[in-house]
Amino acid sequence: MLKEHLIDELDYNLVPDDAWKKLMVLSCKVIEEGIRKHCKVEVYLMELKLCDHQDLEHVVTEQFSKVDTIECIEKKMQQAFNISDKTEVRLWNKYMSSAYEHLNRSDLTIQNAGLYQGAV
């Protein structure tokens, strides 16, 4: 259902039919950014590098939306490294050569957790 009293080019933009069809094929998400919560279509996903603490040399690169949660990363990790659903998984963000931050809130989005493109 559309909201009432929306203003063209302020609250929404019209796009040609061909552009709309291409956007629908991409399965892009609409995300909110900034202090004013400006909505935009996320065209480029964020790449994160995933690895097991026992083998830091084996890195798997996966793409995520900025609005995906830490729980979503956990599930991808379990798939990528053949970890059972019943096994506890702990995620850590490596933000310096020897500094790690425990990502213990599975409900946080990647954006709110402060992760960035290429983070390990």
pLDDT classification of 118: cutoffs 50, 70, 90: low
Decide if 70 is inside a domain.
yes
In a domain, 62, yes or no: yes
H-type helices in 1-120, by residue range?
A: 17-26, 70-80
What is the C-alpha to C-alpha distance for residues 59 and 40, in angstroms, rounded to an integer?
31
Structural domain that includes position 62: 46-103
Q: Answer whether residue 76 shows pLDDT above 60.
A: yes
Judged by average pLDDT, the poorest of 8-17, 29-38, 76-85 is 29-38
Q: Tell me, yes or no, whether 87 lies in a domain.
A: yes
Reported as a single tens digit per residue, the pLDDT across 33-44 is 777 777 777 878
Q: Residue 6: inside a domain, yes or no?
A: no
Decide: 28 and 42 in contact? Cβ < 8 Å. Answer: yes
CATH of the domain at 56: 3.10.20.90
Could you give the number of structural domains in the chain?
1
Residue 114 has pLDDT above 60, yes or no: yes
